[in-house]
Amino acid sequence: MEEHAVLFHSLDGEKIYFKPLRIDDVQEMHHYASDQDVSRFIGWNLMNSLEETSEHIETMLRRESEGTHLYASIFEKPTQKMIGTAMIFNFDREANHAEIGYVLHKNHWGKGYGTEAVALMSDFAFKSLKLHKLYAKVVHANVGSGRILEKNRYELEGRLKDHYFIDCMYYDALLFGKITNLDTSL
């Protein structure tokens, strides 16, 4: 998994590129991890202090070293500033699939960065990891995230009623999936 992590950390697109997640990036991550609008629907707890964000990064780095998750920081090419986090996790080796996730600072929403991040992750997962399927669970109220997946040809596969309980309200989970179009018999 270590060689795959190196490749994942070096993905490069038109507008963004990935780098390894580092504890030194705590301030940059805290900018979006402490924003209620950003953290509300991503499955992370709101980070109220740099210490909480630092602990979260340490947890992510530990998971990656254990081989259960891949994480990368997303950088914007023009500014070379960290604007988000990309992840592949919940690997099922037998079924050969995994879940993807992504989070961007809200100042970078609507600029195509999320769409490009999902495209980079999908290409990597299918070509380098040789996965059969990728999927994502999205809070139904997170319309932008659903659009990102649809632009990357993920199909809406189902809906889990009242799956998330956020801010004292229930939200449905939308399940999106994409199956590789690569010939894996080679």
What's the first-to-final CA gap in the chain, in angstroms?
A: 21
- State the pTM of this model: 0.93
Q: Is 72 inside a domain boundary?
A: yes
* pLDDT tens-digit series, residues 25-50: 999 999 999 998 888 888 777 899 99
Residue 85 lies in a domain: yes
Domain presence at residue 173: yes
The total domain count for the chain is 1
CATH label of the domain that carries residue 55: 3.40.630.30
Distance CA 10, CA 79 (A): 17
Question: Which tokens in the block code for residue 86?
Answer: 């990309």
State the pLDDT at residue 46: 84
Residue 186 lies in a domain: no
pLDDT digits (tens, 9 = 90+) for 145-178: 999 999 999 999 999 999 999 888 999 999 999 9
Q: How far is residue 17 from each of residues 14, 52, 86, 121, measured CA to CA in Å? A: 8, 26, 11, 11
The whole-angstrom separation of Cα 85 and Cα 131 is: 21
Structural domain span for residue 116: 2-179
